[in-house]
């Protein structure tokens, strides 16, 4: 045996990995400079980012906030920096109330008063009403959106559909309260009348009683209460609505109502009942086949023709109806996708448990189908919210409609980046927020199997 041994008997101590493959350098080598093509792309990207930022950042931050018109803005810029390549945020400062609330009167009882010249008895500009409606919206949504929020807040959710119109339009509190009483009657009789009237009888009775209440009784009763306990807000006409408030209003109404209608339409489209199915398919395909703008034209010029002669309800209501119908058709298709994606075994399992159609839908099918379609539902929401800008084409003053009138104004003629950047930012925050929420919800509801 040779005495020389070339086999190492003990382990070498662990060495640190090469400096080029760990830490910042390693990451950069991996992700930015892994080859000549990648390196070229990185350099080009850096140049591009530099080019964009070097234009945008000085423009945004070296800006004029105090000026009465674009000309004045440019004079200030020339005096300060020697060129006019700077943002003139003065237009936002001048018009932000308008962009947010349209022509919502700050003091409805005093038409000539403005925010800067409040009337002598002026208490608080009425902008608190849309603001409060928005805050309450979040409170009402919280228990629906997040599981950790106390369930008691669902009371706000139930009250919100009646509270919101009252806050925005004003009038006496008793009208929405009496409308809500109608719903209470409807559900109360349908639920507790079953023992005496039977399942079908109670539903019919509930519908009849509620209709009679709404059509004949709620108005006089509300008037009576209004005389005894006058709780009222000054009335604001629909045509004063505008700005971002209008977008949110139309968006929230359309989103809120389109989900249940969409579910019903999707169920109709999936059902075995031939006539119901045909009606649902016809409606969905018709709405999806035409652009929203034609439906808005229908709202603005035709919808009054469809009503009995003499009726005339206001344009915002008509637009809300059309946008809701539009959203429902898209929602129905998204939910139908979810229904179709469920394995057939789920339907058969529900049947084998002896559940009837509605029980099966409520307990087995819908929870899963809706979970599958969350991304689609939220992207429909985002789409509807973005599409509310189309109302500017039929003359409503949403932010885009207002931007056109501001740009047509002599003082701000020629301004565009600042205005559109502001509007775009508002929309971006809302839409981006919604899409992030849907991602979070998807992760939360993930139950392991796809």
From CA 29, how far away is CA 280, in angstroms rounded?
A: 57
CA-closest candidate to residue 236, choices 136, 141, 133, 139: 133
392 binds another protein (CB under 8 A): yes
* Residue with smaller CB distance to another protein, 74 or 407: 407
309 binds another protein (CB under 8 A): yes
* Residue with smaller CB distance to another protein, 101 or 427: 427
From CA 125, how far away is CA 105, in angstroms rounded?
A: 8
Size of the residue set binding another protein (CB under 8 A): 56
Interacting residue with another protein among 432, 439, 440, 446 (CB under 8 A): 432
Interacting residue with another protein among 205, 279, 355, 441 (CB under 8 A): 279
Any bridge partners for residue 64, and if so which? 88
* Residue with smaller CB distance to another protein, 237 or 442: 442
From CA 239, how far away is CA 315, in angstroms rounded?
A: 8
131 binds another protein (CB under 8 A): no
Handedness of CA 364, 275, 256, 208 (dihedral sign): negative
304 binds another protein (CB under 8 A): yes
* Residue with smaller CB distance to another protein, 32 or 342: 32
Q: Is 273 left (phi over 0), alpha (psi -120 to 50) or beta?
A: beta
We find the least distance from the C-beta atom of residue 127 to another protein, in angstroms, to be: 24
We find the least distance from the C-beta atom of residue 397 to another protein, in angstroms, to be: 14
* Residue with smaller CB distance to another protein, 114 or 404: 404
Interacting residue with another protein among 275, 312, 352, 354 (CB under 8 A): 275
We find the least distance from the C-beta atom of residue 152 to another protein, in angstroms, to be: 34
Interacting residue with another protein among 231, 235, 290, 445 (CB under 8 A): 290
Interacting residue with another protein among 97, 431, 441, 442 (CB under 8 A): 431
Compose the 397-416 pattern: x for residues touching another protein by CB under 8 A, - for all others.
---x--xx--x------x-x
From CA 360, how far away is CA 350, in angstroms rounded?
A: 6
* Residue with smaller CB distance to another protein, 178 or 415: 415
We find the least distance from the C-beta atom of residue 198 to another protein, in angstroms, to be: 10
Interacting residue with another protein among 128, 286, 313, 440 (CB under 8 A): 286
* Residue with smaller CB distance to another protein, 175 or 303: 303
- The residue range among 115-123, 186-194, 294-302, 440-448 that interacts with another protein, by the rule CB under 8 A, is 294-302
Compose the 361-390 pattern: x for residues touching another protein by CB under 8 A, - for all others.
---------------------x---xx-xx
* Residue with smaller CB distance to another protein, 17 or 291: 291
Compose the 32-51 pattern: x for residues touching another protein by CB under 8 A, - for all others.
x-x---x--xx--xx-xx--
What residues contact 231, with CB distance under 8 A and at least 6 apart? 172, 173, 174
Q: Which residue has the tokens 């919280």?
A: 142
294 binds another protein (CB under 8 A): yes
* Residue with smaller CB distance to another protein, 19 or 200: 200
Binding footprint of another protein on the chain (CB under 8 A): 31-32, 34, 38, 41-42, 45-46, 48-49, 200, 272-276, 279, 286, 288-294, 297-298, 301-302, 304-309, 382, 386-387, 389-390, 392-393, 400, 403-404, 407, 414, 416, 420, 423-424, 427-428, 431-432, 435
């Amino acid at each position: 045996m040779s005495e020389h041994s070339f086999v190492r008997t003990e382990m070498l101590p662990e060495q640190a990995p090469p400096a080029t493959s760990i830490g910042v350098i390693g990451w950069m080598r991996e992700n930015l400079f892994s080859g000549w093509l990648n390196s070229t792309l990185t350099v080009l990207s850096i140049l591009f980012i530099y080019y964009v930022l070097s234009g945008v950042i000085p423009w945004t931050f070296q800006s004029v906030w105090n000026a009465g018109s674009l000309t004045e803005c440019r004079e200030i810029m020339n005096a300060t920096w020697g060129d006019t390549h700077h943002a003139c945020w003065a237009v936002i400062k001048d018009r932000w109330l308008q962009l947010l609330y349209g022509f919502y009167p700050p003091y409805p009882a005093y038409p000539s008063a403005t925010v800067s010249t409040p009337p002598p008895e002026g208490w608080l500009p009425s902008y608190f009403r849309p603001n409060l409606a928005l805050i309450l919206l979040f409170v009402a949504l919280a228990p629906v959106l997040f599981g950790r929020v106390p369930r008691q807040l669902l009371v706000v959710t139930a009250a919100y559909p009646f509270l919101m119109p009252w806050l925005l339009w004003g009038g006496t509190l008793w009208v929405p309260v009496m409308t809500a009483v109608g719903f209470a009657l409807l559900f109360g009789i349908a639920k507790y009348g079953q023992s005496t009237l039977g399942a079908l009888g109670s539903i019919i009775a509930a519908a009849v009683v509620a209709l009679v209440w709404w059509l004949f009784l709620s108005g006089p009763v509300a008037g009576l209460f209004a005389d005894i306990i006058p709780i009222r807000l000054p009335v604001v006409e629909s045509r004063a609505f505008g700005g971002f408030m209008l977008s949110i209003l139309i968006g929230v109404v359309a989103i809120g109502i389109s989900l249940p209608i969409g579910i019903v339409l999707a169920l109709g489209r999936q059902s075995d009942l031939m006539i119901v199915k045909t009606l649902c398919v016809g409606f969905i395909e018709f709405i999806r086949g035409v652009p929203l703008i034609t439906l808005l034209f229908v709202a603005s010029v035709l919808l009054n023709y469809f009503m009995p002669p003499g009726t005339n309800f206001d344009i915002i209501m008509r637009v809300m109806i059309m946008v809701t119908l539009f959203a429902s058709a898209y929602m129905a298709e998204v939910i139908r996708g979810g229904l179709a994606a469920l394995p057939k075994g789920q339907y058969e399992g529900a049947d084998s448990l002896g559940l009837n159609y509605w029980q099966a839908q409520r307990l087995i099918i819908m929870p899963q189908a809706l979970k599958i379609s969350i991304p689609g539902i939220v992207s429909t929401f985002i789409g509807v919210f973005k599409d509310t800008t189309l109302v500017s084409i039929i003359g409503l003053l949403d932010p885009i409609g207002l931007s056109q009138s501001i740009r047509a104004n002599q003082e701000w003629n020629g301004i565009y980046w600042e205005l559109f950047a502001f509007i775009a930012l508002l929309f971006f925050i809302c839409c981006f927020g919604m899409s992030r929420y849907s991602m979070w919800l998807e992760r939360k509801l993930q139950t392991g199997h796809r």
